[in-house]
């Protein structure tokens, strides 16, 4: 029977009478009751006594089975078994032939009671079985002792073994239910993780596209606008022709950048040349388009990851675009240096400068370009420092560690990029 006692999960004994075990045990009890009554009648016990004993014993037994279907009260089940044992003792007092009914009593003791109570009751039943023949006939034998002893141990062992099987089956069902629940929770977590990764990937992709558009296409369009205004204000056909040629080149470059942004390929500047050479071409173009004097100092660098080269190139593009548009500088010096465990890119101009603390200041001081550049470098474990003051030019220093790749690039190599 189930109980509120946590120390006995195996004591669902009263409910254990239900099902096949209850039917089998009831059949054994009925057969043994019939045999005992028949032998008692042959032994000279009056038939009314035989019928009364049989009906009382089987009636009490059957009532207990019906009661077990409605309640799991262990104490009630124990009281029922003790009452059945007393009825049996009375039957044995009338005739020793009723010792046959000791076997179902031993089975019930193992099912209904805890072991510490089942053993004393089983011993009491054994004592009655062994003592009944000499009390009635004055004689006994070793078989009258050994047979009941073996039978009692066998019956008690069967009942306790069955309870262990029931407990194991319940434990297996509990474990299976836990595994099913864990599987469902894991599937839910995997769905949630996949959704989060998709959202994170989409956000990273939007950030990448916005950065690349700002650093490439937007800068090309800005330069085209400046060249167009310059050509419109000039009366020289040579200046206008040169401006149109530069506009055409910038348009082609912007279109190529736009296509590569869509395809998520490396920048056109890095497809066939090193980072230092790409910076040199950018500075030469700046000089050709604006007349600003430029100087490049580039060390021989160890092999950098593509992400690091792209980040430094985009930093230079954004910085030089701001020099072109906002600084009014006459000279720019770019230094690409090996700093041991990092690569450093310094860009210094002699322009009008600005206040870096002013979030609304034009250019890198507080615009989108500065935030995007810093975010890109931080993804690689690097950083960006800006020093400037009104009328004192601007110095920008970017650094990235050597031998480190951005999480997004790793995801692309693993095939997990959205």
pLDDT at 268: 60
Whether pLDDT at 167 is above 80: no
More confident residue, 169 or 368: 169
Best CATH choice for the domain 274-418 from the list 3.30.565.10, 1.10.10.10, 3.40.640.10, 3.10.20.30: 3.30.565.10
How many angstroms separate the CA atoms of 347 and 354, rounded? 15
| pLDDT tens readout for residues 58-87 | 888 887 777 766 666 778 878 888 888 888
- Provide the pLDDT for residue 333: 93
Domain positions in the chain are 15-140, 274-418
pLDDT at 4 over 70: no
What is residue 267's predicted lDDT score, i.e. its pLDDT?
A: 60
Average pLDDT score, the chain: 75
CB-based contact 61:84 (threshold 8 Å): yes
Quote the pLDDT of residue 346: 93
For the chain, counts of helices (H) and of strands (E):
12, 5
Mean pLDDT of 92-114: 80
* Residue pLDDT, tens place only, 123-163: 888 788 877 777 777 676 666 667 677 766 777 777 777 77
pLDDT at 217 over 50: yes
Considering only residues 139 and 287, tell me which one the structure prediction assigns the higher pLDDT.
Answer: 287
Whether 18 shows a pLDDT value over 60: the answer reads no
Query: What confidence score (pLDDT) does residue 354 get?
Result: 81
Judge whether residue 406 has pLDDT over 50. no
Q: What is the CA radius of gyration of the chain?
A: 48
Consecutive H or E run containing 215? none
- pTM score, whole prediction: 0.40
- Residue 418 is predicted with a pLDDT of 29
274: pLDDT strictly greater than 60: yes
Name the token pair of 293.
């004097």
Q: Which of 194-203, 299-308, 322-331 has the lowest mean pLDDT?
A: 194-203
Mean pLDDT of 307-336: 86
Answer yes or no: is pLDDT of 415 > 50.
Answer: no
Share of the chain above pLDDT 90, in %: 4
- Most confident option among 59-73, 190-204, 270-284, 320-334: 320-334
Whole-number pLDDT of residue 10: 38
398 contacts: CB under 8 Å, gap ≥ 6: 311, 312, 315, 344, 345, 346, 373, 377, 382, 383, 384, 385
| Structure-token match 């141990």, residue found | 153
pLDDT of residue 250: 79
Q: What is the pLDDT of residues 363-384, one digit of tens each?
A: 444 456 777 788 888 888 888 8
Q: Which residue has the higher pLDDT, 90 or 257?
A: 90
Does 275 have pLDDT greater than 50? yes
Which pLDDT belongs to residue 368? 62
**Which residues have a Cβ under 8 Å from the Cβ of 221 and sit 6 or more positions away?**
254
Task: Report the alpha-carbon distance of residue 349 to residue 319 in Å, rounded.
Answer: 10
| pLDDT of res. 360 | 44
Q: How buried is 48 (Cβ within 10 angstroms: 0-12 exposed, 13-18 middle, 19+ buried)?
A: exposed
pLDDT at 142: 63
On the question of pLDDT at 347 being above 90, the answer is yes
Residue 166 confidence (pLDDT) above 80:
no
**133 or 275, which is more confident:** 275
Which pLDDT score is estimated for 345?
92
pLDDT by residue (tens digit) across 105-126? 877 777 777 777 878 888 888 7
């Amino acid at each position: 029977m189930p109980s509120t006692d946590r120390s006995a999960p195996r004591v669902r004994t009263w409910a254990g009478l239900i099902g096949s075990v209850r039917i089998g045990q009831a059949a054994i009890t009925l057969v043994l009751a019939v045999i005992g009554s028949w032998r008692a009648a042959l032994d000279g016990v009056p038939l009314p006594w035989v019928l009364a004993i049989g009906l009382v014993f089987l009636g009490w037994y059957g009532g207990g089975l019906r009661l077990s279907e409605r309640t799991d009260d262990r104490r009630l089940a124990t009281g029922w078994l003790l009452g059945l044992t007393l009825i049996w003792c009375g039957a044995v007092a009338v005739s020793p032939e009723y010792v046959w009914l000791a076997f179902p009593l031993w089975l019930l003791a193992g099912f209904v009671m805890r072991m510490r109570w089942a053993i004393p009751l089983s011993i009491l039943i054994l004592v009655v079985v062994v003592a009944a023949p000499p009390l009635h006939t004055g004689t006994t034998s070793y078989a009258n002792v050994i047979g009941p002893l073996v039978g009692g141990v066998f019956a008690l062992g069967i009942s306790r073994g069955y309870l262990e099987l029931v407990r194991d089956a319940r434990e297996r069902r509990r474990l299976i239910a836990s595994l099913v629940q864990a599987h469902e929770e894991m599937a839910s977590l995997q769905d949630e993780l996949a959704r989060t990764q998709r959202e994170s990937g989409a956000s990273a992709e939007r950030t990448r596209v916005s950065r690349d558009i700002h650093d490439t296409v937007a800068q090309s369009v800005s330069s085209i606008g400046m060249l167009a205004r310059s050509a419109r204000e000039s009366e020289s056909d040579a200046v206008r022709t040169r401006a149109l040629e530069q506009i055409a080149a910038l348009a082609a470059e912007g279109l190529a950048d736009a296509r590569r942004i869509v395809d998520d390929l490396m920048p056109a500047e890095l497809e066939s040349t090193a980072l230092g050479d790409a910076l040199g071409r950018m500075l030469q173009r700046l000089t050709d388009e604006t007349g600003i004097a430029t100087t490049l100092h580039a060390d021989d660098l160890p092999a950098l990851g593509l992400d690091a080269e792209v980040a430094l190139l985009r930093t230079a593009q954004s910085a030089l675009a701001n020099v072109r548009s906002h600084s009014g500088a006459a000279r720019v010096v770019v230094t690409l240096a090996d700093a041991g465990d990092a690569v450093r890119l310094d860009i210094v101009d002699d322009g009008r400068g600005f206040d870096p603390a002013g979030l609304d200041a034009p250019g890198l001081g507080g615009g989108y370009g500065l935030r995007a550049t810093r975010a890109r470098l931080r993804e690689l474990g690097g950083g960006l420092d800006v020093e400037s003051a009104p009328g004192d030019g601007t110095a920008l220093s970017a650094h990235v560690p050597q031998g480190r790749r951005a999480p997004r690039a790793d995801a692309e190599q693993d095939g997990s990029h959205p």
